[in-house]
C-alpha cells in the first residue's frame, strides 16, 4: 500500500464486475495506463481476493449476481482504510452515489462512462493517498513526539498504541510492556524514554534472561571490590547507571525469586544495595519492564511474585501481534525494504504482487522481527532482479508441494472409508490453521485460501463451531 519515492511501482487494482466484456475492457484500459489488474466476477470472489492481498485500488459494480457491490466496498474499506475505490453501475442516481461516497468510495460512475475518466479518477486518488501517506511519515519522523524509528503502522490497534504512548511517556510511572517475541518491546521502551522528561538522561537495558543467575544481581545492583570470587574491582550496576534516566528490564519473568525480592525492594524504597555492602544508595530511575509470557500464570505456578507484579503493572502496554494487523504488512515490508537496500547499498526495487501475497498470507509467529528478516533475506537473494519475487523469500514462505501436504495413509486389506478419512484430513487442516492463527477465523481462512463464510460452514459441518471443540 506504500511505495518509496524512488520507485513508482505499478498500482494494483481489483476489478469486480460480472459482465465479462465490460470487465475485460476495464482491465485492458487500466493495464494500458500502468495499473496491475486483478479480476473478479462475483462478490464472493472479490472478497476472497481482498482477503489475500492489499490492493491500491478497487473498481466494483453496484449490482453483482451474488451480492451487493456496496458490501464489497464496505468490506474493502474496513480492511484497508487507505484503499481508493470507484463504484460503477448501470442504474442508480444521487442516493446511490451519496451512499458510495459515505462508505469511502472516491467516485461513483454511471455506465456507460469514459474509460479515461475511470483511469483519471483512480490515478488521482491513489497518487493523492500516496502523497498524504508519505507526508504523514515525514511529519512523524520530524516531530519529536513521534521518535518511533521503525514503529510503523496505521491499524486501529497501532493507533491506540500510539495514543497510549503519548499519554504514558511524560509520566514517571512504572510500565509493564507485554507482547509476543518480535513485536518490538524494547523499541516501545525506548520510545517512552525519548519522549519523556528523562530523554537527555541514560537509557539502560538489562536482559534478565541473557545473564547467568549467579551474576544477575551484581549486574543489576553493582558490587564492591572483593564481594565475590573474581570481583577484583568495584562495579556500578544497571540501576545506578540509569539514575535520573530509564532502566529497561527485558524478560523480567526470567528473574529468579531471590532477585525478584530485591527488585521489589528497589521499586518500593527507591534505593538499592550493591552486592558486598549493606549501605543503601538512593536511586531515581524509571523502570520499564517487558515480558512475552503470562505473568499471572507464573504467579499461580509460584514462580513469579504477585507483589512484584503489581509494582510493575502500574501502567500496562499491550503490543498487538503482526497477524492481528495485516493491513500494516505492506507498509512495514516497504519500510524494511528501503532500510535494507540503503544499508546494503543496493538499488531499491519493488515487492512484486506474488511475493506480497505470500507476506499477507503468512501467520508471522516471529512477528515484526521475522518480517524484517524475511525482507533482508529477499534483498540478499534478489541480485539484479527488477522486483522482489516469491523465490527470494525464506523457505517457510514458499508454497508447499501439494503432494506432500496429505499425510501418508496405509490402506488395509479391508479398505477404508474414503469419506471418513477425508473428513478427518479436512478437520486436521482446519484445526492446524486455527491454532496457527490463535483462533482467528478470518486469518485461518486466508491460510486455507477459503472465504470466511466457507470456513464457517465447514466448522459447523465438522462440529468445530463451538470454540471448546477446537
DSSP string, 136-177: HHHHHHHSGGG--TT----SHHHHHHHHHHHHHTTS---EEE
Please provide the CATH number assigned to the domain covering 403-469.
1.10.10.60
Please provide the CATH number assigned to the domain covering 156-319.
3.40.50.300
Domain boundaries, the chain: 12-138, 156-319, 323-399, 403-469
pLDDT at 145: 40
**Residue 282 phi, psi (nearest 5):** -70, 135
Asked, colleague to colleague, whether 156-319 and 323-399 share their fold, the answer is no
The CATH-assigned architecture of domain 323-399 is Orthogonal Bundle (1.10)
pLDDT at 23: 93
pLDDT at 454: 86
pLDDT at 227: 61
User: What topology is assigned to 12-138 in CATH?
Assistant: Rossmann fold (3.40.50)
Which residue in this structure is represented by grid cell 444521487?
94
Q: What is the pLDDT along the chain (470 residues), one digit of tens a residue?
A: 333 333 346 889 999 999 999 999 999 999 999 999 999 999 999 999 998 888 999 999 999 999 889 999 999 998 888 899 999 988 877 888 888 899 999 999 998 899 999 999 999 998 888 887 776 655 444 344 445 445 677 788 888 888 899 899 999 999 999 999 999 899 899 899 988 999 889 899 999 988 887 788 888 998 787 666 666 677 888 999 999 999 999 999 999 999 999 999 999 999 988 887 778 889 999 999 999 999 999 999 999 999 999 999 999 999 999 988 888 898 899 989 999 999 999 999 999 988 998 898 888 989 999 999 999 999 999 988 999 999 999 988 875 444 444 455 556 666 777 777 788 888 888 888 888 787 888 888 888 888 888 888 888 888 887 544 33
**Residue 148 phi, psi (nearest 5):** -90, -5
* Helix or strand run (H / E) with residue 110: strand 107-110
pLDDT at 149: 46
Q: Is the entire prediction scored with pTM above 0.95?
A: no
Backbone angle region of 182, left / alpha / beta, with phi > 0 → left and psi within -120 to 50 → alpha: left
* Helix or strand run (H / E) with residue 280: strand 280-282
End-to-end CA distance of the chain: 35
Amino acid at each position: 500500500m506504500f511505495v518509496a519515492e524512488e520507485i513508482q511501482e505499478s498500482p494494483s487494482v481489483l476489478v469486480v464486475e460480472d459482465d465479462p466484456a465490460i470487465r475485460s475492457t476495464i482491465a485492458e484500459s487500466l493495464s494500458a495506463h500502468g495499473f496491475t489488474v486483478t479480476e473478479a466476477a462475483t462478490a464472493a470472489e472479490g472478497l476472497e481476493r481482498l482477503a489475500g492481498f492489499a490492493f491500491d485500488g478497487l473498481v466494483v459494480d453496484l449490482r453483482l449476481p451474488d451480492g451487493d457491490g456496496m458490501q464489497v466496498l464496505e468490506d474493502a474499506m474496513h480492511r484497508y482504510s487507505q484503499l481508493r475505490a470507484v463504484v460503477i453501475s448501470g442504474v442508480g442516481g444521487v442516493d446511490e452515489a451519496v451512499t458510495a461516497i459515505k462508505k469511502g468510495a472516491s467516485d461513483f460512475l454511471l455506465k456507460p462512462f469514459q474509460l479515461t475518466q475511470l483511469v483519471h479518477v483512480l490515478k488521482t486518488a491513489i497518487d493523492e493517498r500516496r502523497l498524504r501517506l508519505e507526508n504523514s511519515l515525514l511529519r512523524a519522523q520530524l516531530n519529536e513526539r513521534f521518535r518511533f524509528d521503525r514503529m510503523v503502522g496505521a491499524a486501529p490497534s497501532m493507533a491506540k498504541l500510539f495514543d497510549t504512548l503519548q499519554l504514558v511517556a511524560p509520566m514517571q510511572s512504572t510500565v509493564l510492556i507485554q507482547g509476543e517475541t518480535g513485536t518490538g518491546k524494547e523499541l516501545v521502551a525506548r520510545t517512552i524514554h525519548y519522549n519523556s522528561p528523562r530523554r537527555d538522561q541514560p537509557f539502560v537495558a538489562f536482559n534478565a534472561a541473557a545473564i547467568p543467575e549467579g551474576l544477575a544481581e551484581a549486574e543489576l545492583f553493582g558490587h564492591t571490590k572483593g564481594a565475590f570470587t573474581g570481583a577484583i574491582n568495584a562495579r556500578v550496576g544497571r540501576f545506578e547507571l540509569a539514575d535520573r534516566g530509564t532502566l529497561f528490564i527485558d524478560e523480567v519473568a526470567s528473574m529468579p525469586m531471590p532477585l525478584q525480592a530485591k527488585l521489589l525492594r528497589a521499586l518500593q524504597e527507591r534505593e538499592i544495595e550493591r552486592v558486598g555492602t549493606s549501605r543503601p544508595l538512593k536511586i531515581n530511575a524509571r523502570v520499564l519492564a517487558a515480558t512475552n509470557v503470562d505473568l499471572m500464570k507464573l504467579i499461580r505456578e509460584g514462580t513469579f511474585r504477585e507483589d512484584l507484579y503489581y509494582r510493575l503493572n502500574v501502567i500496562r502496554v499491550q503490543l498487538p501481534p503482526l497477524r492481528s494487523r495485516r493491513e500494516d504488512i505492506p507498509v512495514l515490508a516497504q519500510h524494511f525494504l528501503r532500510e535494507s537496500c540503503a544499508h546494503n547499498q543496493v538499488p531499491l526495487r519493488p515487492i512484486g504482487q506474488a511475493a506480497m501475497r505470500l507476506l499477507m498470507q503468512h501467520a508471522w509467529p516471529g512477528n515484526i522481527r521475522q518480517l524484517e528478516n524475511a525482507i533482508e533475506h529477499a534483498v540478499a537473494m534478489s541480485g539484479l532482479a527488477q522486483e522482489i519475487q516469491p523465490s527470494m523469500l525464506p523457505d517457510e514462505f514458499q508454497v508447499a508441494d501439494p503432494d506432500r501436504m496429505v499425510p501418508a495413509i496405509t490402506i488395509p486389506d479391508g479398505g477404508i472409508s474414503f469419506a471418513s478419512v477425508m473428513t478427518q484430513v479436512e478437520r486436521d487442516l482446519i484445526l492446524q490453521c486455527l491454532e496457527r492463527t490463535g483462533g482467528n477465523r478470518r486469518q485461518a481462512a486466508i491460510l486455507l485460501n477459503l472465504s470466511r463464510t466457507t470456513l464457517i460452514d465447514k466448522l459447523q459441518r465438522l462440529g468445530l463451531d463451538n470454540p471448546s471443540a477446537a
